[in-house]
Amino acid sequence: MRYRLILLLILCTGALSAQEALTFKKVDAGTYQLYLDKDWTGLITLGEQAIGQGFDYHYLNLRIGIAYFETRQYFRAMEYFDRALEQNSSSEIARDYLYWCYRYTGHLFKSSLLFDKLPATTQEKYQKPYPRALDYFYTEGGYKISTIPDEQGHITYLSAGMGHYPLARLHIHHEFTHLRQEQFWGSYAQNQYYISPQWYAGKGFIIQPAFHILGLKGDLNLDFPIHSVRDTMVTVGNPPQQRGARFIVEGADKYRGELKQTGVLINLGFRKQWKRFYIHPYFSRLNYRFQQMANVESVHKLTLDIGNPPHPPIIIVRDTTFQHPEHADSTSTFTQIGISARYTPPIWQDRLQIGLAIHRQRYEQENYHAFVPELGLQLHQKIRILLKYYSGNGIFVAEENGAWIQNTLEPIPQKMTFLVDYQIKPGINIYGVYQRETRDDISQTSTYHFNSLFTGIKFRL
């Protein structure tokens, strides 16, 4: 019993020591010395303890914010710089650090508007974020490898994009994409153009319309082999007699011509951005047209083999060739609504980002759905990875920003994406992407896969 009392006294003494009240002098002198020593972990520990005991003044918030900034916890740093500016709106240091917090956390427009409030001497040290005729540009390309190359061939993929920043509240993104594929019915080349301006309306609201234009042209070169055998009875001779006969048709139907697909997608969405979280609801409409201009040449050999016992069979052979056009012209409308959200939880020094997008598409009086969870992780100062998983049952499904997730008439029930981004030096990044997608081949009533590898490089000027 005595030992239990001694242990209890020791624990109580330790708890009282841990909760020892701080004084202003200890807080101010201690955090300042830790700031001079660049002991950021120690400064965060002492600073948070002081905040917990009710200390709240400009220099304390400023020092804690700098400590979080130096450890790359930019969202936490933003909170303290905001506090510091509330207590001293003329603090150039707090405003300077807050500007970079906005830049590093993707608050593009807030950073640009804050830049105008920095003193001229500070602005001279940095490159003004706007106006910029060319904010960034990138190029990427790769190969989509099919598991049934004889029927659905490999796809060559090339893309290039750029951004413009003409005004503090306006940013414009362009992208051009080219795809080429050989298929069992012929080959095609597809070109896409995408443009998306973003307008900052204030208080974290961003209005983001988008236009995505698709143009596909294919050469139709398909031979359908014909071979049929039918046993029947025919009447021959004089006097007439019933004889067994075999009717054989051999040859091919040869399709020659071209295919065209055109589509225009119009998207309207807005994004509400808080510090660690944003949501992005949207609405999109796709007007799609399919055209086929084909000529069918049927080359058939007709053979009639008539039994004639005890004599040799009577064989009649006739070659026929005839042609006819087979054209098609149809239009379709796809409407889609959805919402996406992303969040940076306050763990692992703000290195993790989680997200989810939900899409609902309506086409030919039917509803289709898609779900896209994602996970981003900053592994290192220069290395970032991104995992995405798409699950859906629609066709021509678009993302919340109006860019197509898949742009084919074949349903893609599943697609997994893995991206690794590496910063070579400030302003230059290279990245690699692996994708595995499952497709339902509507023409062959089968399922197959694409394994895709892409690489790209991005320059931010």
Paired residues of 88 in beta bridges: none
Residues 6+ apart with CB under 8 A from 208: 196, 197, 198, 199, 267, 268, 269, 270, 271, 280, 282, 401
Query: Looking at the predicted structure, is the pLDDT value of residue 157 above 60?
Result: yes
What confidence score (pLDDT) does residue 19 get? 54
Q: What is the per-residue pLDDT across 213-246, written as a single tens digit (0 to 9) for each?
A: 999 999 999 888 888 899 888 887 777 878 888 8
Q: How many CA atoms lie within 13 A of 411 on its CB side?
A: 16
Q: How far is CA 260 from CA 191, 244, 330, 394, 418, in A?
A: 12, 49, 11, 21, 32
Q: Please give the structure tokens belonging to residue 412.
A: 């893609």
Mean pLDDT across the chain? 90
Judge: domain 20-123, CATH 1.25.40.10: yes
Please compute, for residue 186, the number of CA atoms within 13 A of its CA located in the half-sphere on the CB side: 19
Give me the percent of the chain exceeding a pLDDT of 70. 95
pLDDT at 438: 94
Query: Among 271, 263, 266, which Cα is nearest to 402's?
Result: 266
Query: What integer pLDDT is reported at residue 20 of this predicted model?
Result: 67
pLDDT at 445 over 80: no
Topology of domain 132-460, CATH: Porin (2.40.160)
Nearest alpha carbon to residue 253 among 283, 221, 277: 221
Backbone angles phi, psi at 32, to 5 degrees: -65, -40
Provide the pLDDT confidence category of residue 154 given band limits of 50, 70 and 90: very high
Higher pLDDT, 366 or 315: 366
The reported pLDDT for the residue numbered 6 is 42
Looking at the predicted structure, is the pLDDT value of residue 119 above 80?
yes
The model's pTM is 0.84
Nearest 5 degrees, angle CA 451-CA 455-CA 461? 150
Domain ranges of the chain: 20-123, 132-460
Rounded to the nearest 5°, which phi and psi values hold at 43? -65, -40
Instruction: Please write the tens of the pLDDT for every residue from 85-115.
Output: 999 999 999 999 999 999 999 899 999 999 9
* Confidence at residue 5, expressed as pLDDT on a 0 to 100 scale: 42
